[in-house]
A and B are shown apart, each in its own frame.
Chain A
Amino acid sequence: MPMRYAPPIALLLALATTAAWANPHERLLANGLRVIVREDHRAPTVAHMVWYRAGSMDETSGRTGVAHVLEHMMFKGTPTAGPGEFNRRVAAAGGRDNAFTSRDYTAYFQQVPKQKLPEMMQLEADRMRHLSLDEKEFAQEIKVVMEERRLRTDDQPQALLYEKLNAVAFQVHPYRVPIIGWMTDLQNMTVTDARAWYEDWYAPNNAYVVVVGDVDHQEVFRLAEQHYGALPARTLPVRKPQDEPSQAGTRRLTVKAPADLPVVMMAYKVPVIRNVEQDVDPYALEMLAAVLAGHDAARLTRHLVREQRLAVSAGASYDSTARGPGIFHLHGAPTVGRSRAELEAGLRAELVRVQEQGVSAEELARAKAQLIASQIYKLDSIFAQAMEIGQLEAAGIPHTMNRRIIDKLQEVSSEQVQAVARKYFSDEALTVAELDPQPLPQTPRPRSPFVPRH
């Protein structure tokens, strides 16, 4: 890193440290529930989240999608708060709420005016242990989930491609399964499957609460003890590692779907952070992704879209934090008249450039400047701050290590970026998925009485 960049970055980091990292407070309740609080007094609101360490990667064959189905059922009532009551109470509190299921976790959140936090804790604590899981409610909700699958996957060619790519890139590890589940499993799922999932994983010792906003942390700890403290810890199922064996050759797949744009997605197996202090490669891979695709003039857009006109879009993505194995993605859509094979060759050529020539100090400094700025910008959103804490913890990384991760990213050298490019981007560890667009059976043409104007 050129020295001229050092003073401003140090200054900014110090600022961010004062504003945000100085105050995450944490307490472990006797039942194993961890409570993490970050005070942020800019506005009289609070984000309250409950994270369960159970996601689609904990599912078993024949029951894929059950983590997400249970997430839906969590809004369907307890003996003391009937179906729809949860949403009604949050709405009445002037709040917004929702939930999300990932491969690694399932999380629930409410954003409310700060005085409503106790009521939100009471509601979440209630459904942590007392969910009704009514058979009739399940019968309706599973239909909703199948509609969700149709909307988000079946009718979205690129989502379909991504789903199939994962199913080929992973053969052993459960990351091969889509979060929403295979349609056949949804069609055959019963309320008993949902109940078994709930009984297995919804326990205070498998959860943590994240609160960010205009609160006093001692008061939050007291409230958490009051509402969550009485819930009993339970024995959790044994988690099997299901490690993915190393890949021994390129895998290829094609998906045909109604579309106009062809798409190429490439997936390379790479590591993720397992030891914040000792790891090097995941940080270098983050910087590689930033150099390739971190801004409008980053390499992939600049070379493939702008200079060579080979692609209408091109990108790269990598997430260094996950419970399971890592993937570094390269993807793009070729320009009319250029083939998917040409685009794949173009994407590979960008990797070869890094392997042979490395990245410049200027590019790396630029990626780091963006990283620091994004840390500051995150302070503008209490929701984003809560998400950051929750996601780190979900990956098994203590939230207190966030500052160290930023430090480690700042320390990445050009040589380290070149080294990871050489180490992980080989054909042996590659899976390539191609979307082969199919014309619609008929050109959609509105019938009378309306004719769109041109």
Chain B
Amino acid sequence: MTPCKFLLGFCLLLCAQLVQAGPKIERWQTAAGTRVLFVEDHSLPIVDIQVDFAAGAAREPAGKEGVAGLTRSLIDLGADGMDETQIASRLADLGARLSGGVDLDRTSVTLRTLSMADKRAPAFELLRAILNGPTFPAEAFERERARSLAALREALTRPDAIASKTFWAAMYPAHPYGRQATPESVAALLRADILAFHSANYGARSATVAIVGDLSRAEAEALAERLSSGLPAASADTGLPVPQLPVGGEQRIAHPAAQAHLLIGLPALKRGDPDFFPLAVGNYSLGGGGFVSRLVKEVRDKRGLAYSVHSYFLPLQQLGPFQIGLQTRKGQADEALRLTRSVLAAFLEQGPSEAELQAAKQNLIGSFPLRLDSNRKILENVAMIAFYDLPLDYLDRYPENIERVTVAEIQAAFARRLPVEHLVTVVVAGD
């Protein structure tokens, strides 16, 4: 064992020395009140921009579930006198790519463009038009509502989607995070609901802009100014209510699938909470570290019960979930569930071993450069820092924050965040 320990210690030292600081992030605010984060990088002729709004699904008014996603899907289907074909064709002509989506907290609009002046200027102008002058054409609205209804109805036949929707509803029984779009809620949406959601939630003061790539600071400032100046004059973000912990329990739903889908979890962690680090390090050993985690070793490697088994924390603006998930052949769901619970119980009782802790740190710190080795990855990180208003040195301090975590802190954080009596379990297609 001695050579092995020596090797571990040696690697850790090396890793720690070679870890690069995060990228240099500049920060300012536009005249309209939009926070901007910028990383200047001229190594490739590419500019990436992500605009985030506090317009996630949790902002949907009761009874209007589905409006956030539909608003986002309509945002680039008409703007400033252009129709959807003109917008998409012009983007394609420039080789520019528009993407993004909606989660519980955020609506994102992301643009990737070449940085040559004749490409980027018209691409930025298209982005500005989409953000500042969306027209939400009635015809496109009706069509997209029908398409999202079709997608939802299809999803509701699938065991994974049924499990996930049931799980979130059970974890957040009285909180916006637990509300789900239903065929009824989507079918009842009107174009007026889209307009109302847009003007209430796409405002400059709740928006953040992340820019990475081949621009100067002055050019980035001008861009951010232009993007934010015509956003709706919505009031600033009012925040989300604090979720209550659910009553723990188990829910089973029949389904003809060959495999059972199991989910276990509860609301656990907010963005910016200092418990993030002990939980992240601990979860690596529990079920976040892939093949070296306890869940994969026990459920997959030793018993062949599942192809995929994982655990993670999803920190959100309010308490986001801790979740364990796996799929296993119908008929052995109970065996897999018992095993998973015993792995979790043992971890909660003892925390990771000292060797597991070192392995977790070694990977989380050692792999830090891999989190930042492309503009795309830097953009994701910077947009997250901007939206959740994390410290600008968040990335720089990430390695040391991981390094200082102890077994005792992990145990204490897991005990605080995972009161097992509140754990919710959902099994779809278990029997």
Give me the interface of A with B, judged by CB distance under 8 Å: 8, 11-12, 15, 19, 42-45, 75, 83-84, 87-88, 91-96, 111-113, 115, 139-148, 150-151, 154-155, 258-261, 294-298, 302, 305-306, 309, 312-313, 333, 335-336, 365-366, 369-370, 372-374, 376-377, 379-382, 437, 440-442, 444-447, 449-454
Chain B residues whose CB sits within 8 angstroms of the CB of A381 once the complex forms:
374, 376
The answer to whether A147 touches B178 (Cβ under 8 A) is no
For the A-B complex with A140-B303, A151-B307, A382-B373 known, give 13 more contacts whose Cβ atoms are closer than 8 Å.
Answer: A84-B297, A94-B363, A147-B304, A150-B259, A154-B259, A312-B151, A376-B95, A376-B114, A380-B44, A380-B46, A444-B428, A450-B169, A454-B182
Other-chain residue from A8, A147, A444 in contact with B253 (beta carbon distance below 8 A): A444
Binds A, one of B196-204, B244-252, B414-422: B244-252
In the assembled complex, 29 residue pairs joining A and B whose CB atoms fall closer than 8 Å, in A order, are A44-B369, A84-B292, A87-B292, A91-B362, A92-B359, A92-B362, A92-B366, A95-B366, A95-B370, A96-B367, A113-B367, A139-B304, A151-B307, A261-B150, A295-B89, A296-B76, A296-B88, A297-B85, A298-B92, A306-B140, A312-B146, A312-B147, A366-B92, A366-B93, A444-B253, A444-B255, A447-B253, A452-B180, A454-B63
Shortest Cβ distance from residue A85 to the other chain B in the assembled complex, whole angstroms: 10
Q: Does B357 contact A (CB under 8 A)?
A: no
B166 contacts A380, C-beta separation under 8 Å: no
Residues of A within 8 A of B304 (CB): 139-144, 147
The answer to whether B254 and A379 touch across the interface, beta carbons within 8 angstroms, is no
* Residue picked from B140, B182, B292, most chain A C-beta under 10 Å: B292
Q: Are A45 and B185 in contact (CB under 8 A)?
A: no
Q: Give the A-binding residues of B (Cβ under 8 A).
A: 8, 11, 14-15, 18, 20, 43-46, 63, 65, 76, 84-89, 91-97, 112, 114, 116, 118-119, 140, 143, 146-147, 150-151, 153-154, 156-159, 162, 165-166, 169-170, 173-174, 178-180, 182, 184-185, 246-247, 249, 251-259, 289-292, 297, 300-308, 327-329, 359, 362-363, 365-370, 372-376, 424, 428
- Contact partner, B157, options A11, A297, A313, A440, Cβ 8 Å: A440
Q: Are A45 and B369 in touch, CB under 8 angstroms?
A: yes
Please, which residue of chain A has its CB at the minimum distance from the CB of B297?
A84
Q: Which residues of B contact A376 (CB under 8 A)?
A: 44-46, 95, 114
Q: Please report the C-alpha to C-alpha distance between residue A302 and residue B87 in the assembled complex, in whole angstroms.
A: 12
CB contact between B300 and one of A144, A150, A306 (< 8 Å): that residue? A144
- Asked if residues B143 and A454 are in contact (CB atoms below 8 Å), the reply is no
Tell me the smallest distance from the CB of A122 to a CB of chain B, in Å: 13
Q: Which residues of A lie under 8 Å from residue B76 when comparing CB positions?
A: 296
Main secondary structure on chain A at its contact with chain B? Answer: mixed
A45 / chain B contacts, CB cutoff of 8 Å: 369-370, 373
Which B residues lie within 8 Å of A449 (CB)? 247, 249, 251
Taking CB as reference atom, which chain A residue is nearest B163? A444
The winner among B87, B91, B157 for most chain A CB atoms within 10 A is B157
User: Please, which residues of chain B bring their CB within 8 A of the CB of A450?
Assistant: 166, 169-170, 173, 246, 249, 251, 424
Residues of A within 8 A of B255 (CB): 440, 444
Q: Is the CB of A446 within 8 A of B166?
A: yes
Residues of A within 8 A of B258 (CB): 150, 154-155
